[in-house]
Structure 1
Amino acid sequence: MRQNIVALLDWLAAPERMKLRLFLEGNLIGVLTGFVIAAFRYLLVLSEEALPRLYAWLAAASPVWTTAWCAVLAAIGYVLYRIVRHEPMTSGSGIPQIEGILAGEMQMNWARVLAWKFIGAVLGIGAGLSLGREGPSVQLGACLGQGVGRMARRAPGEDRYLLTAGAGAGLAAAFNAPLAGVIFCLEELTKDFSPLVLMGAVAACVTATTVVQQFFGLAPVFHMGDVPVVETGSFFLLLVLLGLFVGFVSLAFNRSLTFSLDTFAHLKLPAWSKPMLPLFVSVAFGFALPQVLGGGSPLVDSLVVCDYGLTMLCVLFAAKFLFLMVCFGSGVPGGIFLPMLVLGALAGAIFARLAALAGVLPDGLAVDCMVFGMAAYFACVVKSPITGTVLIMEMTGSFAHMLPLILVSMTAYLVSELTGGRPVYEMLLSRSLAIRDRARARIRAGSRGRRA
């Protein structure tokens, strides 16, 4: 038996069978990623359901309990500080780190990052921080992909394919969107439509989604209800205006992220206290505007069933935007992927209100503007319009809207392109590498000074 297994492994190790090997290993990565992300999603869903009830109870209870909850949040903030200090690769989204590894600029201890990223993201997002699970899910999947490659002792080139497949599987499992996971690998991570990338990514994304569906079912992440089909020709000008509106609204996103990161870096506060700031801010929002807590999936669902006025929509957009910047600037584990889509849905809802007041939007099409707004915001900020289009189709179940989604996404993408916008993850990676290079230069200068 052992001889047969050894013979099979030797047969698979042949260079001409690399695609088959990537397919088989991709399936293994998909299974592992599916189970990890299912547990990750389950814990965060529990927190999404519990937090509104907690703050409703605290509002009616003695202030002593609010003080106790603030003490719990302070403890969580200190734990997050220790996690990021112990393993800096767990900070933030995780997607720029994966791109840095693929570019040969960063390295990752996959087992350590896997454990601490999972714990840190559950604690931070579960406590109410306005961060998404999708960036951490991508990094968790990438850790598993790299782990499989390292344990199988694959060559560095093949190891990169497995890491990419794991990253795509993480996105697919987080959003229940296997095709978007594959396109994300090709368009955003590698920017290479290689059949070798495709082989591992397809296997991992499909398998991971299949595993997650055993726990969460086939329902899309966002429950948009009945989304009317829009004839692109009849609403061409309105769709272009929607793309322009969301594109210009989203231009502030990247600059605000950089400003927030720089502000936190220069705050004259102990490093251990900085993660506590957004957690304490979450208490105020928990009482005043609980819709902005967490990633934001319930908020998008509520836009469909609640008749928010224009003023309230603007308040929700501003609060979600500012709270996201405060949370991400602190450097705690958590992504911007889902909050970015929530902002796009809110921008689409605001546009729908304005268009309805102007008398140019027929009744019942506000939900279309929300769906298209998510794709447009993603396309402008990430500058991956195809990924955004496919992702929103899978997340909302609106597969009949490909043409208007592409039109709105490309319009928003052009707004970013013509105004000199950079892809957000590329921007964050460049910032991290610049900080690293400056730190290395200071160390070298200090060493030369001591020798002199």
Structure 2
Amino acid sequence: MKEKKKINTIRKIEYKNKESFFLIIRGLEVGIVAGLVAVFYRFLLEYAEKYLNIIISTVKDSPSKIALWFIALAALGGFVAMLNKIEPMSSGSGIPQVAGEVKGVLTQNWWRVLLAKIVGGTVCVFSGLSLGREGPSVQLGGMAAKGIARATKADKTTELRMISCGAGAGMAAAFNAPLAGTMFVLEEIHHSLDKNILCMGIVSTITADYVSKLFFGQNTIFNYETVNFPLGYYWLLVLMGIVTGLCGVFYNVVMLKMQSIYKSIKKIPNYIKMPLVFVISGVVGLLLPQVLCGGHSMVALLINEHPSISMMLFLLAAKFLFGAFCFASGAPGGTLYPLCILGTYIGAVFGAVSINALGLDSSMWEEFVVIGMAGLFASIVRAPITAIILVYELTGNMNNILPLATVALISYATANLIGVQPFYETLLSNLTPSDSEKPKLFKRSEKIIKSYVIPLGSPLDGKKIKEVDWGRHSLIITVERGEESITPNGDVLLRAGDEIVFLVSQRRYAANINRLENLFATN
């Protein structure tokens, strides 16, 4: 067995330059399966929301029917609490769980997570909780890919790549945004540009997007008239970037504080707390149904009815507070789409105030709406390139790329200056067990291939290989410089732009990866 593992490791090195074809095949496999799983989940959630609206309209005028509905909600809440206890990895968004698996700090039972997430997420949307499908779709795509990897007996390097690309495929199918799905994996999960992930990822996300479009059509999620933003008013975009950056920081602080408060209430067991959350969702549904679920009805209201500034502020606050409350419970469901909705409302309020104060053309209002989405996404997730590409793909509008980039980058910089940690990174650190509690995630004998690019300004630029402490369990197997592959030895001088390929031992894998990521960090 040990000899077989050595042969597998040697084979990885020998076929490294010939693996593009296999990456494409794996990408197709992942894209088809992850796309079908995400589409199935999307169908379930659409029907769940449809029947929720029917139930609310049926019971709202009858106290006895309302009482029965609340009893049913309490039972559904108890069921979700039971699911979370049976499969804890199915709770919450799902994005930190995928990132943790790829980094080697968490492990998930792929088929149990698939079942629990699909069932739990559907129940939550049917009950009206302010949670979206996009985060769960990322986790579902990753777990579907892990299932394929296990079924085809893929090596560990390939499995981790497939999980990453499955996550991107899930996001692509949920948003109809293949490029954003790929960039999200590179920017948010890996924090680096890995050519192999890029190759497999772009194939998997495009395939998943194609699968999604077969079922849901080719329309973009947001449709609006194109308007060129006047260059003389770009100072407004700078101000808007600062505003969305501050709002993103506030969002992160409040969401995490709410989660902390919920967990601190230990005297009340979760099988009682969760039913209470579901019943409160029922009350909100009767009083303010617009803020239920992901927020599609809020977008329709915004675009079709152009509500007053005071109404937009009220809905913004209500959606945020209700969403924070639902998220804190740990119910299976995502925050990506709800935060996009919050961004549209921040942009709408900012746009309405600007138009009224400066006498701008009212047709610019919808431009502010979509730009606000990119700004808030960039500050919360700390992934500005993903934010720009995502909003472009959601709208299908190339004319707003420069305004999007301006707001997203300023918002990102504002959040970084304040110093609050990115949302999903904080969630992952909260999920990560202590060293004494960590399970043995990987087998020790098989090595994993990882590659990193030396960024401009890196301390590694200009150093010899022997001058850097790479760690005991990381071995450099090649240095890629353009089209040249350099055989590594201690005297090889490293340069910015070099791609260094490692064989990483599965012994203390998470610590090894963390060490390498810190070495190649840009700051």
After superposing the two structures, state which structure 1 stretch, 132-141 or 51-60, moved more.
51-60
2: CA distance between counterparts of 1:264 and 1:322?
14
After superposing the two structures, state which structure 1 stretch, 11-20 or 234-243, moved more.
11-20
Any residues of structure 2 matched to 1:260-409 within 5 Å, and which?
A: 260-267=258-265, 268-409=267-408
2: CA distance between counterparts of 1:262 and 1:48?
29
2: CA distance between counterparts of 1:34 and 1:330?
28
Aligned partner of 2:49: which letter?
E
- Residues 22, 162 of structure 1: 8 Å contact kept: no
2: CA distance between counterparts of 1:119 and 1:409?
35
2:480 corresponding residue in structure 1: none
Any residues of structure 2 matched to 1:100-139 within 5 Å, and which?
A: 100-139=100-139
Aligned partner of 1:94: which letter?
G
Q: Percent identity?
A: 35
Aligned partner of 1:264: which letter?
Y
3-state secondary structure, aligned to 1:364: helix
2:232 corresponding residue in structure 1: 234
1:51 corresponding residue in structure 2: 52
- Displacement of 1:16 after TM fit? 4.5
1: CA distance between counterparts of 2:424 and 2:154?
28
1: CA distance between counterparts of 2:269 and 2:281?
20
After superposing the two structures, state which structure 1 stretch, 332-341 or 391-400, moved more.
391-400
- Displacement of 1:212 after TM fit? 0.8
What are the superposed Cα offsets for residues 38-82 of structure 1, whole Å, 9 maximum, x if unpaired?
11111212233333332222222x211111111111111111111
1:444 corresponding residue in structure 2: none
Q: 1:439 to 1:88 in 2, by over 3 A?
A: farther
1: CA distance between counterparts of 2:329 and 2:99?
21
What are the superposed Cα offsets for residues 356-375 of structure 1, whole Å, 9 maximum, x if unpaired?
33135321111111100000
1: CA distance between counterparts of 2:179 and 2:435?
39
1: CA distance between counterparts of 2:352 and 2:55?
32
- Residues 142, 166 of structure 1: 8 Å contact kept: yes
Aligned partner of 2:302: which letter?
L
3-state secondary structure, aligned to 1:93: coil
3-state secondary structure, aligned to 1:97: helix
Higher relative contact order (CA 8 A, sep 6+): 1
For structure 2, the 5+ residue unaligned runs are 1-10, 439-523
Structure (1 or 2) with the greater helix fraction: 1
- Residues 244, 375 of structure 2: 8 Å contact kept: yes
Question: Size of the alignment, in residue pairs?
Answer: 426
2: CA distance between counterparts of 1:52 and 1:314?
24
TM-score, L = length of structure 1: 0.91
1: CA distance between counterparts of 2:219 and 2:280?
33
3-state secondary structure, aligned to 1:132: coil
2:141 corresponding residue in structure 1: 141
1: CA distance between counterparts of 2:395 and 2:50?
21
1: CA distance between counterparts of 2:276 and 2:19?
49
What are the superposed Cα offsets for residues 372-410 of structure 1, whole Å, 9 maximum, x if unpaired?
000000000001000001001111222221111000101
2:201 corresponding residue in structure 1: 201
Q: 1:398 to 1:126 in 2, by over 3 A?
A: farther
- Residues 352, 361 of structure 1: 8 Å contact kept: no
2: CA distance between counterparts of 1:242 and 1:71?
45
- Displacement of 1:333 after TM fit? 0.6
- Residues 178, 206 of structure 1: 8 Å contact kept: yes
For structure 1, the 5+ residue unaligned runs are 1-10, 442-452
3-state secondary structure, aligned to 2:232: coil
Aligned CA RMSD, in angstroms, stands at 1.8
After superposing the two structures, state which structure 1 stretch, 332-341 or 393-402, moved more.
393-402
1:416 corresponding residue in structure 2: 415
Any residues of structure 2 matched to 1:39-188 within 5 Å, and which?
A: 39-60=40-61, 62-188=62-188
Structure (1 or 2) with the greater strand fraction: 2
What are the superposed Cα offsets for residues 213-240 of structure 1, whole Å, 9 maximum, x if unpaired?
0110001123x32132324x23211111
What are the superposed Cα offsets for residues 237-268 of structure 1, whole Å, 9 maximum, x if unpaired?
11111111222222211111211111111223
Aligned partner of 1:41: which letter?
R
Aligned partner of 2:346: which letter?
A
3-state secondary structure, aligned to 1:228: coil
1: CA distance between counterparts of 2:398 and 2:38?
25
